[in-house]
Amino acid sequence: MTNEGIVRTALISGASRGIGLACAKALAETGVHVVLAARDAAKLEAAAAEIPNARWVTIDLGSADSIKEAFAKAGKIDILVNNAAVTRDGLALRMKKDDWDAVIQTNLTGAFLAVQQVLHSMMKARWGRIINISSVVGQSGNPGQANYVASKAGLIGLTKSLAQEIASRNITVNAIAPGFVDTDMTAVLSQELKDQMLAHIPLKRFGKPEDIAAAVKFLASDDASYITGAVLNVNGGMYM
């Protein structure tokens, strides 16, 4: 994506597979130079090899030091896609504090710290796109996922506050709330649970990573320049 000949650079977290990798490929198709970020160097290297002009950096969203190091290596970022997430499911009654902390730290605090790393250069350039990948459960709730749901609902709140803070600098901040998407994270669920979920999706299919990537590509584009503070639901109608 170019604007008056300017080539934009995007960093996508959790980009070694699934939704993150699909987002990286979609942005690269528009001319954006992409930086793939995740924990596994081998998977990143393999993923980056599939994308022209792609680079990669290792990052642990649970570590403030790792986040700083990764963004220092990545250089100036025009488009940030906060996609990386972890789960540590369990009923609230028995949830260990470590499981709560790990999910909030990576999914919410990590995303916030990543935003802090790009804000200065975006404000100086008076252009930027921040896209936070939330979840349908951040809107609807989900039993057994108090930590994950809280982190994804928190991303929506973060999105709205940031959008108001930095709109005057021509930086948009939006969230995408995917529904049930076929990825490695959801592949471990039982067929019975998948069938139950499918029954609640009006479009009668699960999402593909490319469905989320298409929304990211739109929100990162100049066509979405008047959209900020929005939550774009990409869920097949399972929550309205």
Residues acting as catalytic residues? 148
Place of tokens 């995408």: 176
Q: Are 144 and 130 in contact (CB under 8 A)?
A: no
What's the token pair of residue 96? 């260990």
3 state DSSP class of 121? helix
Cβ(43)–Cβ(67) below 8 Å: no
Q: Tokens in use for 238? A: 């399972």
Q: What is d(CA 19, CA 13) in angstroms, rounded to the nearest whole number?
A: 10
Cα dihedral 26, 28, 31, 34 sign: positive
For residue 216, the cross-strand partners are none
Q: Which amino acid is at 206?
A: F
Q: Other C-beta atoms within 10 Å of 171: how many?
A: 22
Hey, what amino acid is at 151? S
Q: Which amino acid is at 2?
A: T
Sheet strands side by side (includes 79-82):
55-58, 33-38, 9-13, 79-82, 128-133, 171-178, 231-234
DSSP 211-232: HHHHHHHHHHSGGGTT--S-EE
